Structures are given as structure tokens and as C-alpha cells.
Amino acid sequence: MENLKDTPLYDEHVRLGALMAPFGGWNMPIQYEGIIAEHKWCREKAALFDICHMGEFLYKGDIVGGGLEDVFTFSVKSIPVGRSRYGFLLNDEGGIIDDLIVFRLAEDEAMVVTNAATIDNDFAVIASRLSGRANFTDISAETAKLDLQGPLAREVMSRFFDPEPCNLPYFRSTKTTILGVEAIVSRTGYTGELGYEIFLPATRVKELWQLFLADERVKPAGLGARDVLRLEVGYSLYGSDIDEVTTPLEAGLEAFVNFDKEFVGKAALLHQQKAGLAKVKAAFRVGSRRSPRHHYEICTGDDTVGTVTSGVFSPMLGCGIGIGFVRPGSAPLGATLTIRHEKVNMEAEVVELPFYAGGSLRS
Amino acid sequence: MSETYFTKEHEWVRIDGSTATVGISEHAAHELGDITFIELPQTGKTVKQFDVLAGIESVKAASDIYAPVSGTVSAVNDGLNDAPEVVNESAEDAGWIAKLEGVDAAELSNLMTRAQYDEYLKSL
């Protein structure tokens, strides 16, 4: 196996008895107490996630003149300072190289936050599309990231920090001072709950981790709970649900594509709009506690129409839920599907996303 | 209480007369993590030793449960339909999966005693 990287919090995870496993080239905590207990804690209190594995790039220079404006499926120049936007880095065929968030830190400064396994390739691709007149650096190694997510996250933040970062509205961010050092706090996350993503120097993250965990309203949560939380609210996981051979149109994510601007892959998407999609995303709810899983077949009658890309048991719904890709037209809303794998068969109904809409996300 | 025997696939069995009570070991329950679904067998189903008896799913994995001894399913633990987490809480007692009738105690010679199973776990 490749050499796995450890986050600056590796010793903390081991001390807490975490089950560690490889994810995106990193040795990450999958669970501490248990996936369902951690999931519940995040939905009811505040859960703390080590997200130091994700990538951060810093761009300094004119957004248009340096070339950043045309890199992604969304406009960077139209993001007001202090806000962020979600979208895609595409290849020429319209396939998704990564899904990411760009934070507009200042008029001439932006931070790109990427997935972990894609850091090196993303950096190379983005750099190749820039004019060279801007300063573009990979700050992933020296930048740590903690996510504090849950309905009590704001109260916990307010105990420790200034009101400004604590009272940020959804998808707003700010440069602030935390533990005496410069940090970026953003009202974003991957759980469907009220929450914050905090970027700070890797040298200080252990201190912040311990500070939060000393509050009895906060418990650590691993990537296992994170996966259940994100699927309940219908978020895609890069590498499972979306990849270089899946376009945003096929993934039902065209809301994050701005056709009024230029970007690599636009011609391919426009062609796909005319020619028709090869596959489309479908979300489904299983009629039992059975869990669909990655690579299970999606069938209607005896016909295999697609493949599951993500599936879990949803503690909030008390049944299995999943998303996958199917032949266009084969799985309309309300249709009955059979999810198959070897001798396992489960009936499922095609539903709308999100599966769970009761979170504190926008509160 | 009669002695508990174990399979290499981490099922346990206790025989009382001609009835066997079957479940998965505490070790297996711990390794599976949060158990979310048990596919209980139909009563009346006849299985041979080491045939697939039931299915079990956790947040991490789906696996088969094998019959530690041959027999006919006479009862299943229906409570697990709504509360499969009982297997995490009490794998070798309240979290039993099924009872088998018409079993032959001679088949226990193919299984491990608790002491042998504990040794086996160390070797994994």
C-alpha cells in the first residue's frame, strides 16, 4: 500500500481510541464511540471532525487578469468578499476533476478548498489554466481544518470566540483571529447542520481540537458518521458519486454550473444538453433497514438499469437510503426499484433529495 | 448453563437437549460495528452445519451468518427486526439469532470451545 499520511491530530485520535483507516491517501479516524452515536450527536449537539486532509490553495492577484475567473464552472469575480461558492473543476469532456469551494477572501485573494485525494492533480490543472500573473500556492500542508457541526455549534463557538465569526450567516466566511493566530471561519459544512469550517495553521490545530473537546457539548466524530450525515442530506462524495467520467448534468448538479461564462468543459456540457445524457442520478429509499452499498445493481423488473454509488442505513429515516446512476427515463420519481447484489434483493422507491431536511443548517 | 461453542466464522451455539441457540460472538459484533439489520431465517428452514443461516448488516458491511450445527429453525429472535442493536449490546445472550431443533451434539466436535476460540482470536 502507498504511504499513508497522518494529520497533525493523529496522536489525539489514537488516544481517543479511534478506529483508523485509509481515506484519500490519509490515515483517518473512521469512528470513536460508534458511527450511529456520533451521527446522533451531530444531529442533536455539536460534533468535531478532523478535516486536515483536505486541500487548500491560495490565489493572490487579479481574479480575471490572472485567469482564475475561467477555471471553474462558476464565476469567482462575482463572489462578494466574505462569501464562498461551491462548484466544479472540469476536464475537456465535462467530467468532474473535483468538486470544491472557493472563498473570496479579498478583492484580489481567493482560497480554493479541495478534496484530499485530488490535491496534487487539482493544483497542477488549475495552475496550467492560470496566466502566470497571479501568485498561486498550495498551502495544504501548513493549513489545518476542523469542522464543528451541529445545532449547538454556534453556542459552543460563542463561548470561545468573538461574535463576528460565530454569527456568520450560511455560506459566509471571515478572516479572524483564533488562539492569537490568523484563521478563516466559514459557515459551511458537509452534514446538513448549523456548522463551521475553521482553517488555521497546522501548528495550532491540536490546541483548538482540545479546546473544543473540553466542552461537554462537543464530541469527536469520524468519517463514518460524516458519510451518513452527508448522504442523508444528499451531498455527493467525490470518487464515489462523481468522478472524471461523470458530468455535473448527469449528477443533477447543473445548479452549480454557470453557462453565462467560459470554463473548460463548457462545450462538452452544451453538446451533452443537446445530444442527451448517458446516465442520470437517482435517489432511492429502501423499504427496510437493509443498506444499499457502492456497486450494488439497480434494477427495474429483470432489467439492470444502473449502479449504486452511495448507500447507508439512515438513522434519521430508519431505513436504507442510496443514490446511484441509471439509464435516463428508467427511474422516475415514485418508481419501484430493486437493488441487487448476489443473493441480496431490496425494494426501493425513487425519491427526491434531500432524504432528510430537518437539519439546523440555515438556523 | 450449557457450554458455548464457536465457529471460525464467529458464530456461537449452545445446545440444550435437542435444541440449539445460535448467535454471533461478541468479537464479531464488535468488529461489525453498529448493526442495522438482521435477515432472520424462516422458521421451518432446514440447514446443514456451516450453511448460510441468516444475514447481518452493519453501517460498515454486510455478511452471512452460518449455522454452527445442522437442524431445523424452530424460533427466531423477532425483537431484532426493530432493535438489531441488541446484538451489539448482548451478542452472546439477548442478541441470539435463532433456535434450531433436531440437532446432533456430535457436530460440536467440529467447533471450538471458548478457550479454543479465545486462542483462535489471538491468532487472527
pLDDT digits (tens, 9 = 90+) for A20-36: 999 999 999 999 999 99
**A67 Rama class: left (phi>0) / alpha (psi -120 to 50) / beta:** left
C-beta of residue A243 within 8 angstroms of C-beta of residue A309: no
Residues 6+ apart with CB under 8 A from A237: A227, A230, A231, A310
| Ordered alpha helix ranges (H), A147-202 | 153-160, 163-166
Task: Tell me whether residues B36 and A344 touch, CB distance under 8 A.
Answer: no
Query: Distance (Å) from the C-alpha of residue A300 to the closest C-alpha of chain B?
Result: 23
DSSP conformation letters of A249-313: TTTT-GGG--TTS--TTHHHHHHHHHH--S-EEEEEEESSS----TT-EEEETTEEEEEEEEEEE
CATH label of the domain that carries residue B46:
2.40.50.100
Fold of A279-363: Elongation Factor Tu (Ef-tu); domain 3 (2.40.30)
Is residue B42 assigned to a domain? yes
User: What residue segments make up the domains of chain A, in order of their start?
Assistant: 5-54+141-232, 56-117, 279-363
The pLDDT assigned to B14 comes to: 97
CB atoms near residue A301 (< 10 Å): 9
For the domain A56-117, what is the CATH code?
3.30.70.1400
Candidates A152, A157, A118, A155; CA nearest to A138 is A118
The pLDDT assigned to B1 comes to: 59
Question: What tens digit of pLDDT does each residue of B21-63 get?
Answer: 999 999 999 999 999 999 999 999 999 999 999 999 999 899 9
Write down the CATH superfamily of domain A5-54+141-232: Probable tRNA modification gtpase trme; domain 1 (3.30.1360.120)
Is residue B80 assigned to a domain? yes
Q: How far is CA A46 from the centre of its chain?
A: 18
CB atoms near residue A295 (< 10 Å): 12
Taking CB atoms and an 8 Å cutoff, what residues of chain B touch A312?
59
Is residue B49 assigned to a domain? yes
With a threshold of 0.90, tell me whether the complex ipTM lies above it: no
Taking CB atoms and an 8 Å cutoff, what residues of chain B touch A344?
55, 62
| A207 vs A51: CA distance, rounded Å | 15
| Residue ranges of chain A whose pLDDT lies below 70 | 1-2
The pLDDT assigned to A15 comes to: 97
| A271 vs A268: CA distance, rounded Å | 5
Interface test with B, best of A230, A232, A289 (most B CBs within 10 A): A289
**Amino acid symbol at A43:** R
CB atoms near residue A129 (< 10 Å): 14
The count of domains in chain B is: 1
Asked if the model's pLDDT at residue B68 lies above 60, the reply is yes
Taking CB atoms and an 8 Å cutoff, what residues of chain A touch B84?
289
Q: In chain A, whose CA is at the least distance from the CA of B83? A: A289
Cell of A334: 415514485
Share of chain B above pLDDT 90, in %: 94
